[in-house]
């Protein structure tokens, strides 16, 4: 078993902030490093809305070289060998083993209400931005993050003696989905992606300028509704997520093709880009139920660990599924120089992989060779162990909840994720 103390991690909150983008005139950077850093800085500068007046900062491309400090090591590990319309009614989906519809059935009515409310929340003041937002809302998706809000809300409401969800619970779920959608729009711009969930991306249809503004618009709208919840703890919690998105993008952009990247750096970046929003969703739901701080902290840890395990599994599938299954070429992260858990583990066993990656796949067939190395030298198996270790922590975090159909669904979410890599 791989020992990864993910439950004890702190991600730049009080101990250390890894994400400040300092510029050093003494540093030397090549063209690729400067370009990559600029991409990260672009992401940092968009979508940050002022909570007081809902003003959007706009877009500023920082054309300065930025250095990447090596973060202090936060992980203790024992290395082991491989051993809006259309509204989706989840109740009517064909059900399979541990399907999303199974897990979300107990909050299906809540999700239907959310889908119907998203249109009015986004607003209709600007038809172009509204159309862009509808493009990604209409592309489908299972609404996993708001579903987690509803599941945790109902599980903790039982503890607090609430008979029904509050309007704050429902508004939180809507805000979370809007923030997630805004981040996807910006991600597609940065990644130059043409397709999202089988549909053309916003920037492909409307251009980069409209896509960036649409993402900013949704960040601003969600921030306005967040401020009106008038709960300072939740406002701080969710506002940090928007900063985390930028932090994760900077960390990723500044470590492309870096074969010395550590596993803990990968997990911190994954927290910023993926797990931070999920953790804020689950903790915010508990806070609005009025449970004590110990339970809300366990819900935060559950969301964090669930998000990290999902990211690790997604990164495994990037090597094990076909392009048809993924909706993109296999090994696409590796091709872009984004080194994920399977690659980091494989680099420890195969020195040739380092040479191929550092050449940025300049030779024909080198990417395919690198993918084969990752598959054949234990990188996938060790990443599976990592995903299971983090998932175990997520299950442990649920022990503070009483047995209920909602807790069962939260447990099923963890198991469903692991089933994807069986």
Mean pLDDT of all residues in 295-314: 98
Q: What is the pLDDT of residues 337-368, one digit of tens each?
A: 999 999 999 999 999 999 999 999 999 999 99
Q: Are the C-beta atoms of residues 406 and 165 closer than 8 Å to each other?
A: no
Residue bearing tokens 């590796």: 334
CA 279 vs CA 127, 271, 286, 410: distances in Å = 33, 9, 11, 13
The first and second tokens of residue 52, run together, are 């007081």
Average pLDDT, the chain: 78
Mean pLDDT of all residues in 119-147: 70
Give the structural domain span for 231.
Answer: 3-419
Look at residue 196 in the predicted model and tell me its pLDDT.
65
Query: What are the backbone dihedrals phi and psi of residue 199, each rounded to the nearest 5 degrees, phi first?
Result: -120, 160
- What is the gyration radius of the CA atoms in the chain, in angstroms? 21
- What angle in degrees, to the nearest 10, is found between the helix axes of 293-320 and 405-419? 30
Q: Are the C-beta atoms of residues 386 and 344 closer than 8 Å to each other?
A: no
Q: What is the pLDDT of residues 370-409, one digit of tens each?
A: 999 999 999 999 999 999 999 999 999 999 999 999 999 9
85-104 exposure pattern, b = at least 16 Cβ within 10 A, e = fewer: eeebebeebeeeeebbbbbb
Whether 67 shows a pLDDT value over 80: the answer reads: no
Query: What are the backbone dihedrals phi and psi of residue 154, each rounded to the nearest 5 degrees, phi first?
Result: -75, -35
Q: Could you please report the per-residue DSSP string of 198-265?
A: TEE-HHHHH-HHHHHHHHHHHHHHHHHHHHTT--HHHHHHHHHHHHHHHHHHHHHHTTTT-TT--HHH
Q: How far apart are CA 321 and CA 357, in angstroms?
A: 21
Whether 102 shows a pLDDT value over 70: the answer reads: yes
pTM exceeds 0.85 for this model: no
Give the CATH number of the domain where residue 340 resides. 1.10.600.10
Q: What is the pLDDT of residues 250-304, one digit of tens each?
A: 999 999 999 999 999 999 999 999 999 999 999 999 999 999 999 999 999 999 9
Q: Are the C-beta atoms of residues 298 and 155 closer than 8 Å to each other?
A: no
CA 408 vs CA 99, 145, 161, 405: distances in Å = 13, 17, 19, 5
Look at residue 215 in the predicted model and tell me its pLDDT.
85
Query: What are the backbone dihedrals phi and psi of residue 14, each rounded to the nearest 5 degrees, phi first?
Result: -120, -30
pLDDT band at 229 (very low <50, low <70, confident <90, very high): very high
Nearest alpha carbon to residue 168 among 227, 236, 116, 111: 227
Compare 212 and 288 and report the one with higher pLDDT: 288
Domain count, the chain: 1
Look at residue 136 in the predicted model and tell me its pLDDT.
63
């Amino acid at each position: 078993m791989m020992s990864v103390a993910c439950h004890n991690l702190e991600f730049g909150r009080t101990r250390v902030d890894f994400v400040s983008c300092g510029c050093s005139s003494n540093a030397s950077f090549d063209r690729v490093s400067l370009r990559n850093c600029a991409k990260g800085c672009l992401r940092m500068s968009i979508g940050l809305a002022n909570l007081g007046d809902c003003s959007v900062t706009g877009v500023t491309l920082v054309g300065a070289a930025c250095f990447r400090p090596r973060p202090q090591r936060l992980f203790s590990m024992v290395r082991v060998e491989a051993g809006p319309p259309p509204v989706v009614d989840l109740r009517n989906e064909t059900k399979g083993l541990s399907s999303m519809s199974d897990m979300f059935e107990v909050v299906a009515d809540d999700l239907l209400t959310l889908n119907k409310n998203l249109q009015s929340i986004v607003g209709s003041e600007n038809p172009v931005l509204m159309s862009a937002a509808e493009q990604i809302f209409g592309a489908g998706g299972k609404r996993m993050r708001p579903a987690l809000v509803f599941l945790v809300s109902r599980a903790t409401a039982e503890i607090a003696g609430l008979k029904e969800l509050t309007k704050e619970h429902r508004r939180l779920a809507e805000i979370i989905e809007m923030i997630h959608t805004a981040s996807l729009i910006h991600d597609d711009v940065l990644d130059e992606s043409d397709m999202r969930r089988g549909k053309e991306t916003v920037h492909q249809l409307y251009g980069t300028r409209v896509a960036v503004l649409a993402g900013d618009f949704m960040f601003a709208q969600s921030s306005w509704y967040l401020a009106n919840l008038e709960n300072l703890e939740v406002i701080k919690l969710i506002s940090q997520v928007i900063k985390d998105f930028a932090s994760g993008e900077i960390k990723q952009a500044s470590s492309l093709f870096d074969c010395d990247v550590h596993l803990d750096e990968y997990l911190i970046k994954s927290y910023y880009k993926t797990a931070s929003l999920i953790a804020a969703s689950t903790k915010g739901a508990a806070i609005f139920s009025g449970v004590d701080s110990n339970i809300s902290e366990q819900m935060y840890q559950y969301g964090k660990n669930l998000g990290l395990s999902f990211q690790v599994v997604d990164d495994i599938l990037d090597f094990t599924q076909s392009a048809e299954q993924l909706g993109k070429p296999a090994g696409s992260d590796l091709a872009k120089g984004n080194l994920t858990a399977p690659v980091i583990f494989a680099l420890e066993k195969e020195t040739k992989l380092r040479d191929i990656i550092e050449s940025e796949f300049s030779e024909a067939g080198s990417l395919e060779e690198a993918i084969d190395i990752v598959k054949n030298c234990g990188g996938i198996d060790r990443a599976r162990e990592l995903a299971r270790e983090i998932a175990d922590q997520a299950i442990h975090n649920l022990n503070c909840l009483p047995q209920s159909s909602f807790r069962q669904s939260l447990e099923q979410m963890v198991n469903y994720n692991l089933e994807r890599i069986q």
